[in-house]
Chains A and B, each alone.
Chain A
């Protein structure tokens, strides 16, 4: 009996939940409600405190290997980070055209267009750096069993990689490079991630999900094509039946079908995109290992996509008030669908010696690309 048990274990090692969710929607809602209204009446100034309150709660109610996480960041750090970036980066970029015009009043309309374009471009180029820096802040403010997370690497290098992979090669390849772009960027992020002194290992050959990416692209193209055909057909039908001739009348007639013309294809595209993102996230997780543990997932990408679409709808329809439910939905999904095998070598997990940023997330917050 014992021998058989051992053999079975070797074939299918014991799986453990990656996270255990202890959050209570009612408690999160209480925090969220306070955050929501204080942010509103302070014209957004409270959001640094709001973010910190919610993170403290979330981190301390999620458990890994029997120990809960801890968020050690403070609102003051977030606020200072924002103030610094606001004055050093955002304000100069915003007022750049005005200052330019002040010194060169003869500027032509075309030149103004170029300046405006440059302004937008700088913001877009800053996004990857902002995200990378924000990730560093969050990791260095996360503790598990008194061990801090960390992130090495440079935000500038990460930006260059993002510009190259996502902004240049992806459009040039008619989006076919997209899976490689996300893999390479994830590689850079994980190669520079530290959980104490441990670093994750990430090996993800793109070939295995490329077929699914092609499917997602194919379904998206079909959706757009069917929408176009439907509009042409509808236009013809309206012209035939009601004798509508001018463009204005046609637009008025079509607006009745706006729901079908716009929202349904939009939801379809959103669902396809979310499905692929789910496939990718789960695949990347399965390609990651740390210490002696390896991650596995239920591969229920459709369910994951459904959770993300539902979350978006909840946030939209409740004007953001329902956000705590979406946290719960995601956490429950992670709890039920993500697992790991093996044992973490806690003895080898020591404190890292990386430098910690003293203020946080300023750039990401200033251009509003931060997560929770």
Chain B
């Protein structure tokens, strides 16, 4: 069957050759109007370049003559080819396999990116020397004090009363492990806020408000041990990298800039589930070793949870769930507090007097 109204571009020049197609079951032959055969295209390898439904035009190509193009302008001719090879004109449906592959790839990229940043920050925090954190620590400490302390100058910290002797003794007990290397300072901030946190540079701050809320010395020790756990694992620096981006943190480390708003962010952002668990594990270890036991930390968690479920301080991060954390502590290092005399906590409470 011969059909016309087709044009052939041979890919050698832009000349538009009017051609006739000699259509058969398995292929068609493209011939000049004078009957000279130009080429033969089989249906199997035929490629539909595009089609214009509004005009009935379609453009076809074929690997046999890769640079050539066949333009069909007649609906009848097109219908004949369509009849011979209906699959070519069907909209290719993407297989479930290919869709799943792409969905998987995209999810992997998004999740990989997220965890890559997370893991990258943790890894980096571990290899950056502690001394490099100093400029960042100084500027963050300034901001923390400006935001949270209600007093001026030296009075911003409570470190001159008899309570301080007890506090120092506590820190010393908790530092029995290899913490001194990492831990630069643990200080009590004169503020009624119930909070405690660690900032880069191995500094831990505990607020007077928290000491007031604690019923026993072991409770304060529990919170301190948890924060020391964060310090040991370099979580504050990793957190800063995640929060502010690597280059900003490096600039701050090198003294290039402050982390604007660092104070409010560093104390409110929550660590990852993994980081909290790590800090809890170290805390349990330190508490056990120092003789405080984990009961204090458990009790403090429970009491604060009951009291104010919605406004929990940052050190009581919302994940992992408190119940889980308490359970973890109980399972891992169950022990009875050894040091817990009422006198000591009373003295400790006078730390800011």
Binds A, one of B9-17, B81-89, B143-151, B160-168: B9-17
A146 within 8 A of B: yes
In whole angstroms, what is the CA distance A22 to B255 when docked?
60
Asked whether B16 lies within 8 Å of A101 as measured between CB atoms, the reply is no
Q: What is the total number of residues of chain A having a CB less than 8 Å from a CB of chain B?
A: 32
Any A CB within 8 A of the CB of B265: no
Contacting pair A146 B69 (CB below 8 A): yes
User: Which of A123-131, A165-173, A177-185, A346-354 forms part of the interface with chain B?
Assistant: A346-354
Q: Residues of A contacting B256 with CB < 8 Å? A: 109, 112
Query: A98: which of B14, B52, B59, B250 is its contact (CB, 8 Å)?
Result: B250
A145, B106: Cβ atoms under 8 Å?
no
Q: Which residues of A contact B59 (CB under 8 A)?
A: 60, 68, 70
Given contacts A70-B59, A101-B254, contact A147 B50 (CB under 8 A): no
Q: Give A83 Cβ to nearest chain B Cβ, in Å.
A: 12
Whether, in the assembled complex, A107 has its beta carbon less than 8 Å from a beta carbon of chain B, the answer is: yes
Does chain B have a CB within 8 A of A333?
no
Residue of A nearest to B51 (CB): A60
Knowing A145-B16, A346-B15, A351-B12 are in contact, say whether A107-B254 is a contact too (CB < 8 A).
yes
Closest CB of chain B to A308's CB: distance in Å? 29
Q: A42-B106, A45-B106, A60-B50 are in contact. Are A144 and B14 (CB under 8 A)?
A: yes
Q: How far is the CA of A45 from the CA of B106 in the complex (A)?
A: 8
Q: Which of B226-275 contact A (CB under 8 A)?
A: 246-247, 250-251, 253-256
Question: Do B250 and A346 touch across chains, with their CB atoms under 8 A apart?
Answer: no
Which residue on chain B has the smallest CB distance to residue A49? B102
B132 within 8 Å of A by Cβ? yes
A30-69 contact mask (Cβ, 8 Å, vs B): 1 or 0:
0000000000011101000000000010001100001110
A117 on interface, CB distance cutoff 8 Å? no
B14, A147: Cβ atoms closer than 8 Å? yes
In the complex, A306 Cα to B12 Cα: how many Å? 42
Question: Which residues of A sit under 8 angstroms from B69, Cβ to Cβ?
Answer: 70, 143, 145-146
When distances are taken between beta carbons in the complex, the residues of chain A under 8 Å from B255 are 109
What are the residues of chain A within 8 A of B132 when measuring CB–CB?
Answer: 105
Size category, B interface: 20 to 34
B282-334 interface (Cβ within 8 A of A):
none
Residue pair A146, B10 in contact (C-beta under 8 Å): yes
Q: How far is the CA of A101 from the CA of B128 in the complex (A)?
A: 12
Most buried by A among B14, B67, B254: B14
* CB contact between B15 and one of A22, A45, A68, A347 (< 8 Å): that residue: A347
Q: Does B33 contact A (CB under 8 A)?
A: no
With A109-B255, A109-B256, A145-B69 given, is the CB distance from A346 to B14 under 8 Å? Answer: yes
State whether B15 touches A70 (Cβ < 8 A). Answer: no
Question: How distant is the Cα of A347 from the Cα of B50 in the complex, in angstroms?
Answer: 25
A73 contacts chain B at the CB level, 8 A cutoff: no
Judge if A97 is at the interface, Cβ distance under 8 Å: yes
Contacts of A150 in B (CB 8 A): none
Contact status B49-A70, CB under 8 Å:
yes
B109 within 8 A of A: yes
Q: Which residues of A contact B14 (CB under 8 A)?
A: 144-147, 196, 344, 346-347, 349-350
Cβ contact of B247, chosen from A98, A145, A147, A196, cutoff 8 A: A98
- In the complex, the number of residue pairs spanning A and B with C-beta atoms less than 8 Å apart equals 78
**Chain B, Cβ-Cβ closest to A100:** B250
Q: Which residues of B contact A344 (CB under 8 A)?
A: 14
Contacts of A147 in B (CB 8 A): 9, 11, 13-14
Chain A residues near B247 (CB, 8 Å)? 97-98
- Measured between beta carbons, the chain B residues less than 8 angstroms from A98 are 246-247, 250
Q: Which of chain A's residues has its CB closest to B49's CB?
A: A70
Cβ-based interface call for B68 (8 A): yes
Give the chain B neighbours of A45 by CB distance below 8 A. 106, 109
From B11, B13, B71, B251, contact of A347 by CB (8 A): B13
- Residue numbers in B under 8 Å from A67 (CB-CB): 16, 71
Contact of A146 among B11, B52, B110, B246 (CB under 8 A): B11
Can you list, as one digit per residue, whether each of B54-78 has a CB less than 8 Å from chain A (1) or not (0)?
A: 1000010000000111010000000
**B109 and chain A: residue at smallest CB distance:** A45
Name the B residues within 8 Å of A349 (CB-CB): 13-14
Q: Chain B contacts of A145 at CB under 8 A?
A: 9, 14-16, 69
A354 to chain B, nearest CB (A): 14
**Minimum CB–CB distance for A72 against chain B, Å:** 9
Contact across chains for B52 and A351 when beta carbons are under 8 A apart: no
Report which of A22, A41, A196 forms a contact with B52, defined as CB distance below 8 A.
A22
Which chain B positions have C-beta within 8 A of A97?
A: 247, 250
Rounded to whole angstroms, the CA-CA distance of A146 and B250 in the bound complex is: 55
Question: B15 contacts which chain A residues (CB < 8 A)?
Answer: 145, 346-347
Nearest CB in chain A to that of B257: its residue: A109
| Closest Cβ neighbor of B71 among chain A residues | A67
As a 0/1 sequence over residues 314 to 353 of chain A, the CB contacts with chain B under 8 angstroms (1 = contact) are 0000000000000000000000000000001011111100
Chain B, residue nearest A348 (CB)? B13
Contact A351/B251 with A42-B106, A109-B256, A146-B10 known, Cβ cut-off 8 Å: no
A59 to chain B: closest CB distance in Å? 9
Residues of B within 8 A of A144 (CB): 14
Output the least CB separation between A113 and chain B (Å): 8
Cβ–Cβ contact B13 & A346, under 8 A: yes
Which of A42, A56, A348, A351 is B11 in contact with, Cβ under 8 Å? A351
The reply to whether B12 and A350 contact each other, CB–CB distance below 8 Å, is yes
Instruction: Tell me the complex Cα distance, A300–B52, Å.
Output: 32
Which of A56, A107, A112, A146 interacts with B50 by CB under 8 Å?
A56
Q: A interface vs B, CB < 8 Å?
A: 22, 41-43, 45, 56, 60-61, 66-68, 70, 97-98, 101, 105, 107, 109, 112, 143-147, 196, 344, 346-351
* 5 additional contacts (CB under 8 A) given A146-B69, A147-B11: A22-B52, A60-B52, A101-B250, A112-B254, A346-B16
**28 pairs from A and B in contact (CB 8 Å cutoff):** A43-B110, A45-B106, A60-B49, A60-B52, A60-B59, A67-B16, A67-B71, A68-B59, A98-B246, A98-B247, A98-B250, A101-B250, A105-B254, A107-B254, A109-B256, A112-B256, A145-B9, A145-B14, A146-B11, A146-B67, A146-B69, A147-B9, A346-B15, A347-B14, A348-B13, A350-B13, A350-B14, A351-B13
Among all A-B residue pairs, the 5 with the closest Cβ atoms: A146-B9, A349-B14, A346-B14, A146-B69, A145-B14
